[in-house]
Amino acid sequence: MIKLILVAGLTVLVLLIFISLRIFLILPHRTHGIPQTSILQSSRIVEITTPSKSHALFILGSGGHTTELFAMIQDLSPDILTHRTYVFSSGDKHSAQKARSFEESLVGSFTKRSNARVGYRLVELPRARRVKQSWLTTPFSCLVCLWKCLDVLRGGDIAGMTKEMSKLWVGMEFPDLVICNGPGTAVMVVLACYIYKFFGKCTTRIIYVESFARVESLSLSGKLLLPLANRFLVQWPQLAERYPGAEHLGFLVS
pLDDT digits (tens, 9 = 90+) for 118-136: 678 999 999 887 777 788 8
Give me the amino acid identity at 189.
V
Cα torsion 243, 247, 251, 254 to 10°: value is -120
Residue 175 has pLDDT above 90, yes or no: yes
Please state the length of the chain.
254
Q: How far apart are CA 249 and CA 109, in angstroms?
A: 27
At the topology level, CATH places domain 49-248 in Rossmann fold (3.40.50)
Output phi, psi for 95, to 5 deg. Answer: -65, -40
Which pTM was predicted?
Answer: 0.85
Q: How far apart are CA 188 and CA 194, in angstroms?
A: 10
pLDDT digits (tens, 9 = 90+) for 37-78: 444 443 444 444 444 678 999 999 877 889 889 988 887 777
